[in-house]
Amino acid sequence: MMRKRTLLMIAVIILLASIPSFGARNYESGTILLTDAVTGEEFEVGTVNVMMSGQDVISDVPAVNFKGRTLVPVRFITESLGAHVSWNQGAREATVTTDEKTIVIGIDRSTVTVNGVRKTLPDGIPAKLLNYGGSARTMVPIRFMSEELGMDVGWIDETKTATINKPAQSITGISFDGSKKFPELLIESTGEIETNSYILEGSAVGDRDKLVIDIPNAEFAIKDPKLLIGSNQAELSIYEDGIIRARASQFDVNPLITRIVVDMNERRGYETEFNKASGITTFRFINSIDDISVEEIYNSEAVIIKTGEEPAIANIMPLENPKRYVIDIINCLLPAGSESIDVDAEGIRRIRASQYDAAADYGPGEAVSRIVVDLDESIEFDNIYFEIVENDLYVYVSGNPLGGINYAKEDVNFATLTISTQKSQTHSVSYSSGSRILTVKVPKSILELESLDLPIEDTLIETMEVDASKTGYNYFKIKLAKNVEYQDISSSGGENEIIIAFENNAIKNSIHKNTLIVLDAGHGGKDPGATSPTYGLKEKDVVLDVAERLSKLLEREGFKVYLTRDSDNYVGLYNRAEIANELDADAFVSIHANAHDRTAVSGVEVLYYPDTDGRNNKSFARIMQDAMIEELGSVNRGIVSRPNLVVTRETEMPAVLAEIGFLTHIGGEEELLKTSSYRAKCAEALYQGLMDYFK
């Protein structure tokens, strides 16, 4: 089992407080019940999505459509628009102040004062004091307040989304500068712009990695004939530093978005900055520390340093007084600045990180991120083990947890297991076709190990364990996945290596090998989704577990699978859909757990965008719902047409949103959803639905 404690190291702007409430939703619920905290009147209102500079705004109390006007919690004004808010309880009014304006807005008053001048609110819709989920919130008109503070406000009626952006600008040019130490993509604009960017790891499914840059409230206005390749499209050929090209286009007109896609041969880290004098936004390609966490892996504590690209380790130094390991990562930035985090982990006391002044040690102009792992005095330096896995650096404090065992997966249908021995190897291999267990017998005289379980669970190996309890020999017991063949190729390696190759020809020859399914685990990061009342289970955690289980089931059938998120991070609603579109996926499944104010409500349902665009979403939803009912035996809540859901509306392939049960069903589905066995059943149900759909 793996224990994880995440230590956030990147600067996160929390737009609104996220207070656990089992009624809290982001976008599945079309309406919610509110109570006027002044009059006690109850009324049902529609929920509204809010995007600020292209980023979703997440709140414990959602924005609502109140009599045709969008109201948001007043904290949106303070935390998103940079204003200060004070509250006068006696007068029941809020005062919003910036360097240039003072706005006084009262509860249930149709007029406000702006710098002493009285103004009437649009349609006379006032600020309201509304109670939701047991908490009262001051809700203010978003358009009036945002526009008074200098922002542009838009409305996307199809998805019931309010957009708030800096004033509109035009994108007038793109260029690339590869002459500097860190290459730069330069975006020219008529004024300051905001960017919403993310890495699309297309290499995971046979495509290229891409940096996707969305610029909200920006018009495509590039006129250079050397770049233009069509109406509202430009392309810049680069072919330097692992970067192939940059493509720019008018991606959308409502909301107004210019998109730039950077095609890459390899994943690159980056930072951004805007130069007001030149009107240029720079994307500088340099590695960055994205996250540092401590996990227990194979019974050993490990520090995991996640970076934007493969880390270049400049130096690793063991130091005394106090005992610590210093790790310098060159050509790298630490966005959050200096951090120091106390850690409750065996052998590790604290982790410190900083951007190191590297001129004296590495020369002028070098960017070095320094990580210091403070150790218990009992830890021996010789037991520290370092390993780079893709873009991550693993630091183990109790030696190599696998003791010379290396399982390397080259692709979805081929992998090798290498066992390094202390002496020239002798071993034997036996296989039981009934149990699908391969046993590798290795003398203890050439390999010293402790018993351990290796939770691999992929398309080739279901389980692997090392039994070192018997006299004279270590026994590797490897349960192969169905249709997997093995071959002992030890003769191709060194004399101190045992090498076993595994191949799944069923996957290699699968009729689904060219079918790509995008799985979307709902919520994540700053957005917990629903929270169960008894156990505090967060929807974001439950559905990520189900999505990861479903991914493994699909990969074993030969499908290509891409997860919009594979950790506790938040991905924007429009980004989730665009990931699937950019990858040209064949199907999209968003996975959620439901919630209701009445704790007796239970069941499963599938939401879909009505079939007005030829995607056949309704039949897809019916197949998925039938599979869930068959496998789970849940209350059948049917399939539900929901035209305003972003993730199912904005996708270009068949798409559904599956609600796998109610976290608020006390004594029923809440109990089930907390168990790994039921989550496995949920994954099996969705898997069966996809198999039925693609048969």
Among all residues, which ones are annotated catalytic? 659
Q: Mention every residue, 6+ apart, whose C-beta is less than 8 A from residue 549.
A: 679, 680, 682, 683
Would you call 197 exposed, middle or buried from its count of C-beta atoms within 10 A (0-12, 13-18, 19+)?
Answer: middle
Q: Which stretches of 317-411 are DSSP H helices? A: 359-362
Can you tell me the distance from the alpha carbon of 468 to that of 499, in angstroms, rounded to the nearest whole number? 19
Instruction: Residue count of the chain, please give it.
Output: 695
Inter-CA distances, 649 with 155, 577, 655, 657, Å? 16, 8, 8, 11
Can you tell me the distance from the alpha carbon of 405 to that of 4, in angstroms, rounded to the nearest whole number? 23
Can you tell me the distance from the alpha carbon of 375 to that of 397, in angstroms, rounded to the nearest whole number? 8
Side-by-side strand order, sheet with 233-240 = 196-201, 209-216, 256-264, 243-253, 233-240, 228-230
Can you tell me the distance from the alpha carbon of 291 to that of 392, in angstroms, rounded to the nearest whole number? 10
Residue 59 has, within 13 A of its CA and on its CB side, a CA count of 27
Can you tell me the distance from the alpha carbon of 244 to that of 262, in angstroms, rounded to the nearest whole number? 7
Can you tell me the distance from the alpha carbon of 686 to that of 637, in angstroms, rounded to the nearest whole number? 16
Residue pair 194/145 in contact (Cβ under 8 Å)? The answer is: no
| DSSP 8-state code for residue 381 | G
Can you tell me the distance from the alpha carbon of 322 to that of 201, in angstroms, rounded to the nearest whole number? 40
Angle (nearest 5°) at CA 666 between 662 and 667: 115
Q: Cα 596 from chain centroid?
A: 26
Q: Residue 153 is which amino acid?
A: V
Tokens of 150: 């200098």
Residue pair 557/691 in contact (Cβ under 8 Å)? The answer is: yes
Can you tell me the distance from the alpha carbon of 444 to that of 402, in angstroms, rounded to the nearest whole number? 15
676-693 vs 539-556: helix crossing angle, rounded to 10: 50
Side-by-side strand order, sheet with 368-375 = 312-319, 324-330, 368-375, 348-356, 339-345
DSSP states along 405-434: EEEEEEETTEEEEEEE-SSS---EEEEETT
